[in-house]
Amino acid sequence: MSFDAGTVLGKRYRLIARIAIGGMGEVWKAHDEVIQRHIAIKILKEEYVGSRDFIERFRTEARHAAIVNHVGIANIFDYGEEKGIAYLVMELVDGEPLSAVLERERMLPVEEVLRIVVQISRALQAAHSAGLVHRDIKPGNILISESGLVKITDFGIARIGDQVPLTTTGQVMGTVHYLSPEQAAGKKADAMTDVYSLGVVAYECLTGKRPFVGDSQVAIAVAHVGDTPANLPKDIPRPVARLVLGCLEKQPQRRPKSAGNLADAASALLKDDLAEAARAYPPLAASGEQNGSGQVLDNQTKAISTTTSLYSKLGQFDTRLLGQTMEFNGGSESKPARGKWVLPVVGTITALAVIVGGGALAIIVTGNRGGLTETKTGVSTHDVTQTAASYIPTIVSPNTRPAGNTVVIDPGKYVGLSFDGVQKALFALGVGIKRLSAGPAPSADKAGLVESISPTGTLTIPAVIDVKVYGPPVMTPPAFAPRLIGTPKIGGSVYVSWPVYTSCPAGSQVTLYRISVDGAVLQGPGTVGADTTQVELLLIQNEASVKYSADCSVPGKNQTFNSGFSDVLKISTNGSHTPSIASSG
């Protein structure tokens, strides 16, 4: 059945506006007429209501979320079935999913990631203490509110520790990029599973890419079981890198022994207290740095001592709560600036969990952005090695200085430099920073650089400076689909080729191509160098498809931007495929 604004469910929930619609259902903003509050309602699609499995999962989500009362877990208030529909009544959260943040920002500052880890770990510990394992921790199930509060959503595939799962024996539950090795191997998921998945999330937040990728879900699952994640970049403080890689240990007993211990360790690192962090996770006290297999790496500097500043490369931060009044868009709003935390200031974003495909993803509706605009690029989240990453706009607080002091701000000293360098320099002067978007970078080598600052000249402390930073450049997908060479038949080989990609942004050049194949097997790696424009395929199905994308890198810099995929070449063995060509010329 269709729904309209004004429809009343359960004789009390009046639908106001549909926020999102997905493969399995839709989410509405609604009003509880009994207790007079706004809520969200997740409605299962009519065709799934007759499925016992879908209905049971819907009920399970309601029951599981109701077990735990924690500020870090999105509340579910009610469940109902009527008129051939099933629905959940949920908390309406002002914020956005972490997946949307990563899609926009690619990477997050270290201290932001630690704060997210602390809050999610605390919420998971509450769930684990109640005997509940989430089993699907991923960015799409993590909401970040406008105030910086982090919440977990979607307990639809969670499981009580001593219950028999709803699925058949051996079926893997969870999202493949965030699966633990034990899940991938078909073993029972426990609290350590959630710790591992949160480690994957933290790794992705810090690097802009997931620790394990592959050409298929099976390949990714196998990588979780047997592969070692790449080291984190050297600009990540070593204890932080060790903690994240510790969560990715293949053997559960090598990970932090509980979500609570992980929260304690991350919280201690935020306070620059390595000794306290090591008490929560002893491997942090070791002299080397571990990878995901428990081995000590010798290609990085030894772990810093407790007397060395954890954030020496990030500048000195005051972690105390600093009360201050901030005026933006002509209005005044009193909020505490939270030290290392980067606090979103302008705009209201409402995020809700919506059923899409086999799980719940977060869908966002954006409100007033204070006149700011965002340009969507073709950069792939897991293909980017460095971009200008931070909330836009944001405000951060420096070390405090006595009120009334003055500083001189010369824009010539900051424009054209990296945001991190400008942030450190301005912090040293005792001023706050509000980061704004300067739009897409005009050339690839300017991504992440400061375009302008204001105000300038002589300023009186306390002061906040607007810093406009270039985002990633606009990327253009390849103009042509791959071309077929040869006659396709099952079990036989064909070749596909493509023209050289010539649309890299100024300041960058093609460094490799990425090939995505379905219904065939690449006879070689999934990425090839810039001088290769042809690959061989082994056809294993009657229908196959191929597409490709290009990576553009800035010479001498750790910056890579992906074009996005080309149109798809569809190959068929029944003669209706794209016409073959005689040669690659």
Q: Tell me the catalytic residues.
A: 136
Distance set, CA 526 to CA 39, 476, 513, 516, 551 (Å) = 46, 21, 8, 7, 13
DSSP β-ladder status, 159-160 and 534-539: unpaired
Q: Which residues pair with 548 in a beta bridge?
A: 515
Q: Are 436 and 469 in contact (CB under 8 A)?
A: yes
Residue 527's alpha-carbon distances to 232, 280, 531, in angstroms, are 21, 40, 12
**Contact status, residue 561 vs residue 476, Cβ threshold 8 Å:** no
3-state DSSP assignment of residue 303:
coil
The DSSP element (H or E) to which 101 belongs, if any, is helix 98-105
- What is the number of alpha carbons within 13 Å of residue 207 lying toward its C-beta? 22
Contact indicator for 395, 426 with CB cutoff of 8 Å: no
Sign of the dihedral defined by the CA atoms of residues 496, 502, 503, 508, in that order: positive
Question: Which region, left, alpha or beta, applies to residue 512 given φ > 0 means left and ψ of -120 to 50 means alpha?
Answer: beta
Catalogue the E-assigned strands of 159-218. Answer: 159-160
Whether 182 and 248 have beta carbons less than 8 Å apart is answered as no
Rg (CA), the chain: 25
State the angle between helix axes of 191-207 and 110-129 in degrees (0 to 180), rounded to the nearest 10. Answer: 170
Inter-residue contact 395 to 343 (CB < 8 Å): yes
Euclidean distance between CA atoms 553 and 508, whole angstroms: 5
Rounded CA-CA distance 24/55 in Å is 11
Long-range contacts of 63-70 (CB under 8 A, 24+ apart): 64/132, 64/155, 64/156, 64/158, 64/160, 65/155, 67/127, 67/130, 67/131, 67/132, 67/160, 68/126, 68/127, 68/130, 68/132, 70/122, 70/123, 70/126, 70/127
- For 574, list phi and psi in degrees, rounded to 5: -95, 10
**Dihedral (Cα; 217, 218, 220, 223), 10-degree rounding:** 170
